[in-house]
Amino acid sequence: MSKSAKGSHHPLDDLLRTDRIPHIWCPGCGIGTAFSACLMAMKASGIDLERTAMVSGIGCSGRGAGYVKLDSYHTTHGRAIPFATGMKLARPELNVVVFSGDGDLFAIGGNHFIHAARRNVDLTVVCVNNLNYGMTGGQVAATTPSGSKTTTTPVGNPEAPFNLPLLAFASGATYVSRWTILHSRELTESIEEGLVKKGFSFIEVLAPCPVNYGRRNRQRPMDTLRAYQEKSIIMNDADPTRLQIDFDRAIILGKFVDTERPTCVESYDRTCRPPMEPADEEKAA
Amino acid sequence: MTKPAVLTGEHFMTGDEAAAEGALAAGCRFFAGYPITPATEVAERIAERMPQVGGTFIQMEDEIAAMAAVVGASCAGVKSMTATSGPGFSLMMENLGLAVCTETPCVLVNVQRAGPSTGLPTQGAQGDMMQARWGSHGHYDLIALAPASPQECFHLTIEAFNLSETYRVPVLVMTDEIIGHLSERVVIPPAKAIKTVSRPRAKGRKDRFLPYKPGPRGVAPMAAAGEGYRIHVTGLTHDERGYPVMTVEAQAEMMDRIMGKIRNNREDIIRTEAYRLDDADFVLVSYGVSARTSLAAVDEARELGIRAGLLRLVTPWPFPEEKIRALAGRVKGFVTVEINLGQMHLEVERCAGGRAPAYLVGHPGGTIIPPESVVDMLKRISGRT
């Protein structure tokens, strides 16, 4: 994507707004890898890209919608999911992908997340979790580990972070996984599974933020990636209550939930729509 | 069994129900809401009716989400609406701003109740008129309509959709608890007699489409998600491509477009009604339920020999500045009648510009203003006491 690559063709060029490159993401940031995985998954999944929309909220990851060459909506802070819910319910034939960050989806947007999962809205939600608010310069988030330093927890975070897969599971998501940007192959496959699966799919992606988070917590860019390599354990179907991220002991990755239940639209159609009369059925046929 | 979207015939229904029927008749097929007195009946009616006409109703987790869903549904190409009251109106301001900035048509019915805060949930007021104008951050223009009866709740909700689709702007239907809960005769015309308007649609080469390049009236044609235009839509300041551009020039150009399409079409948008205004010395300026109070007051004052007239604001926003300015040169005074402590009154006073005095018959909220209060004011300012 750099200028030196001019002339050669990137395999994702047809899905990128190349006229908007260079992007805003910092050196060492993991969002680009997560974003590439998302685009590769979209291509590989075979979904109709003309009928696919990406919705983002606000923040570094929220800029994703601005770089994808699809119908793309960069909305308000925390509101990507309810915006996407309106879009999906109004036009169920659309594939709607939410690409946003942990602060956007789980602090300001937390209420919307749990309700969309409860309703089983057929969305694919990719959350890039970089453990802090990067766009505003590195403040504490609902995902920041206890004790970590940020600009608003200068002596350490006194609060406990969310276990996102547990929250998604408890709220009713029918697909839940967690990967890191180092596991790009598994991540891409997982997003692809989420895209083709009916129902609310949630994919958490751990991504380094060396400039704002790592710098204040004695993690150089490579340290974070090394932690992903050394501390991660792949454990599909792990008990969601055991998925708290612990950089000192273990970060459990894998696919934790893959179940079926009627989607929001299916339930609405079945419950609320009047039964078709024979004449209507003939027309529909 | 499917039912018609337009319930042609004579009905006895509330303003809330009439607004719901107006929305369906206008082609609204998506509604997201959240329960709140005194607007709940709009959602209840729509919850029952929407699936009958092939549309979708959803009760969201709060009003922030409801408004976000409405904007999302409209971006998918479906006419969309929500309904709320004071506290919910406050929560909707965030995504109302998104609709303004992204030029996404949508309709928001505000059945006003007395505030501030939780206030008097079951009692009417007109205290959100300035919030309607300025409630979301930044500078912008939008359109607000103020129905004065259930019949108007029906017609003006259709009008709200038509204006919203024509100008790609959110339109507010500023009703109140009194009109919302008032049952009156509502005549719904045949579907063929109802004029409905849809947004200008994107045409031409999909790879060259500029989603914010103004067309006729300064309004850009709109592409919906899934139509193959692969557009980008953002609440950041953007150029004609829809791309974020963080410059002073881009800001000026975008503001010029979103303000200009309203300001340059004021004559098409602004609706007022005059009653016994031609020879009036004193002009009552009012809207919504208070216009009914004012109508009675005009007749009572005339019987006392006071030449009063009424200018009813069917569209409080944009405010009919020219009308007030023209009247200010020849009348002896304005009296704004509204259930708040002076909101549209400020506009009347501004446009009167000192050429005619501007008085207020206001009320802190919770009930209608009786005609006697208005007549008393007219007697006082005309020297008849």
Work out the number of other CB atoms within 10 angstroms of the CB of residue B124.
29
Fold annotation for A11-284: Rossmann fold (3.40.50)
Q: What is the pLDDT of residues B71-122, one digit of tens each?
A: 999 999 999 999 999 999 999 999 999 999 999 999 999 999 999 999 999 9
In chain A, % helix, strand, coil (3-state, to 5) comes to 40, 20, 40
Q: Cβ contacts (< 8 Å) between B243 and chain A: which residues?
A: 17, 19-20, 66
Q: What is the pLDDT of residues B203-217, one digit of tens each?
A: 999 999 999 999 999
Determine contact: B207 vs chain A, CB below 8 A: no
Which pLDDT does position A275 carry in this prediction? Answer: 80
Which pLDDT does position B187 carry in this prediction? Answer: 98
Nearest-neighbour CA in chain A from B2: distance (Å)? 6
Determine contact: B48 vs chain A, CB below 8 A: no
**Of the partner residues A70, A74, A83, the one whose CB lies closest to the CB of residue B71:** A83
Q: Do A73 and B61 touch (CB under 8 A)?
A: no
Q: Cβ contacts (< 8 Å) between A72 and chain B: which residues?
A: 230-233
Most A CBs within 10 Å, among B75, B82, B231, to test the A interface: B75
Nearest-neighbour CA in chain B from A122: distance (Å)? 14
Q: Specify whether the CB–CB gap between A20 and B243 falls below 8 A.
A: yes
| Shortest CA distance from A74: residue in chain B | B234
Between CA B249 and CA B244 the distance in angstroms is 12
Whether ipTM > 0.90 holds is: yes
Determine contact: B32 vs chain A, CB below 8 A: yes
Which pLDDT does position A280 carry in this prediction? Answer: 59
Pairing of the two strands B272-275 and B308-313: antiparallel
Which pLDDT does position A221 carry in this prediction? Answer: 86
Domain ranges of chain A: 11-284
| Shortest CA distance from B244: residue in chain A | A66
pTM > 0.95 = yes
Work out the number of other CB atoms within 10 angstroms of the CB of residue B245.
15
Q: Specify whether the CB–CB gap between B56 and A87 falls below 8 A.
A: no
Q: How far are the Cα atoms of A52, B96, B134, B212, B349 from residue B130, in angstroms, in the given order?
A: 39, 15, 6, 29, 15
Between CA B202 and CA B231 the distance in angstroms is 11
Q: Which helix (H) or strand (E) holds A180?
A: strand A175-180
| Shortest CA distance from A86: residue in chain B | B69
In sequence order, what are the beta bridge partners of B112? B176
The interface residues of chain B toward chain A in range 327-366, judged by CB-CB distance below 8 A, are none
Q: What is the pLDDT along chain B (385 residues), one digit of tens a residue?
A: 578 999 999 999 999 999 999 999 999 999 999 999 999 999 999 999 999 999 999 999 999 999 999 999 999 999 999 999 999 999 999 999 999 999 999 999 999 999 999 999 999 999 999 999 999 999 999 999 999 999 999 999 999 999 999 999 999 999 999 999 999 999 999 999 999 999 999 999 999 999 999 999 999 999 999 999 999 999 999 999 999 999 999 999 999 999 999 999 999 999 999 999 999 999 999 999 999 999 999 999 999 999 999 999 999 999 999 999 999 999 999 999 999 999 999 999 999 999 999 999 999 999 999 999 999 999 999 998 7
Q: Do A79 and B1 touch (CB under 8 A)?
A: no
Residues in chain A where the model's pLDDT stays below 70: 1-7, 276-285
Which pLDDT does position A274 carry in this prediction? Answer: 81
Q: Do B65 and A76 touch (CB under 8 A)?
A: no
Instruction: List the domains of chain B with CATH numbers.
Output: 9-193 (3.40.50.970), 206-267 (no CATH), 273-381 (3.40.50.920)
CA angle at B15 for the pair B14 and B17, rounded to the nearest 5°: 65
HSE, side-chain direction, 13 A CA sphere, residue B250: 14
Count of A–B CB contacts within 8 Å? 152
